[in-house]
A = this chain, B = another copy of it.
Amino acid sequence: MTGGRKEGRARLTPPAGETPIIVLVRPQMARNIGSTARAMANGGLFHLRIVAPRDGWPQPDAYPSASGADAILDAAQVFPTVAEAVADCHRVMATCPRPRHIVVPVRTARAAAEDLREIASRNLRSAVLFGPERAGLENEDMACADTLVRYPLNPEHMSLNLAQAVMILAYEWWTAAEPTPPRVLMTNETRVATKGELDGFLNRLMAELDATGFLDNLEKRPGMVRNLRHWFQRGEVTEQELRTLHGVVTELSRGRMRRGRPDKDDALPPWQVEGSKGP
């Protein structure tokens, strides 16, 4: 998942319609602002607002950790207060692990992402607040938020890096609208073999094994055949893999012929007898 092709900066375009604005409140480290931009780009978010950054803005130190998401940093807006940063937003969520003495709707990151998609679909503008690295959001900041986001995570170690917190939200935002099936077999140019093709191979394999005498024990034969069939069917097999397996059987049979052991009367070495119990 890491590494790979270099992204062209020109390709990072603001998404159409309303997408959630990420608001970093009093961030301390330029590197974290850059990493936030990278995480936003990963999850298809573009709009970054910064409230009272400790070291001012712009900061050249933010760019290296943005890993090409420079357009997000270039377009970032700075505000003196949270209230001003969200004044044009219709809905504001805040990420905060332990607010006290307030009554507020709480969402998991996943439910928050679903809600943000729903809000965007109604063409309303939303923002998500992230507090400073050490202290988190203050009650004053929370007052601007209508919803609280809490990530379910290990209570023994809840402290998330700022960019990691943004990453999880951006990931959930992207995933909430992602149609990728959760489970597939990547087959490239080939396709999954049909049961008929698999049967053709297995029948041939059994015939070859009968020829060697591997299946000579008539009492055990049905169970051994069944076991082999089940093993070959445990995962999906592609048509190309079946052709390779046909080739393997051909080669092993020819080898047997070449070694002058054309039929089942050969004495087998001990490990092959062992193997005859079936896989």
* Copy count, this protein chain: 2
Is the beta-carbon distance between A67 and B111 smaller than 8 angstroms? no
Size bracket, chain A contacts = 35 or more
Give complex CA distance A97, B28 in Å. 32
Given contacts A1-B95, A163-B164, A168-B171, contact A185 B154 (CB under 8 A): no
- A1, A107, A136: most-surrounded residue (chain B CB, <10 A): A1
Chain A binding surface SS class: loop
Is the beta-carbon distance between B164 and A11 smaller than 8 angstroms? no
Contacting B at CB under 8 A, from A197-243, are 235, 238, 240-241
User: Out of B2, B108, B152, B186, which one reaches A131, CB within 8 Å?
Assistant: B2
Contacting B at CB under 8 A, from A180-199, are 180-188, 190
Q: Quick check: is A165 within 8 A (CB to CB) of the other chain?
A: yes
User: Out of B67, B68, B98, B238, which one reaches A4, CB within 8 Å?
Assistant: B98
Q: Quick check: is A126 within 8 A (CB to CB) of the other chain?
A: no
Digitize A128-159: 1 where CB-to-B-CB distance is under 8 Å, 0 elsewhere: 00111111100000000000111111101111
Nearest CB of B to A137, in Å:
8
Give complex CA distance A183, B118 in Å. 15
Q: Quick check: is A125 within 8 A (CB to CB) of the other chain?
A: no
Residue of B nearest to A110 (CB): B182
Contacting B at CB under 8 A, from A84-101, are 95-101
Give complex CA distance A253, B141 in Å. 32
User: Out of B133, B168, B178, which one reaches A3, CB within 8 Å?
Assistant: B133
Is the beta-carbon distance between B156 and A108 smaller than 8 angstroms? no
Of the listed stretches A39-47, A50-58, A256-264, A268-276, chain B binds A39-47
- For A104, what are the chain B residues with a Cβ–Cβ distance below 8 Å? 185-186
Given contacts A167-B164, A183-B107, contact A2 B152 (CB under 8 A): no
Q: Quick check: is A121 within 8 A (CB to CB) of the other chain?
A: no
User: Out of B106, B153, B156, B184, which one reaches A106, CB within 8 Å?
Assistant: B184
Residue of B nearest to A149 (CB): B1
Q: Quick check: is A16 within 8 A (CB to CB) of the other chain?
A: no
Is the beta-carbon distance between A103 and B3 smaller than 8 angstroms? no
Give complex CA distance A198, B103 in Å. 17
Given contacts A2-B161, A157-B12, A185-B106, contact A152 B180 (CB under 8 A): yes
- For A44, what are the chain B residues with a Cβ–Cβ distance below 8 Å? 153-154, 156
Nearest CB of B to A224, in Å:
25
Q: Quick check: is A279 within 8 A (CB to CB) of the other chain?
A: no
Is the beta-carbon distance between A5 and B105 smaller than 8 angstroms? no
Is the beta-carbon distance between A5 and B158 smaller than 8 angstroms? yes
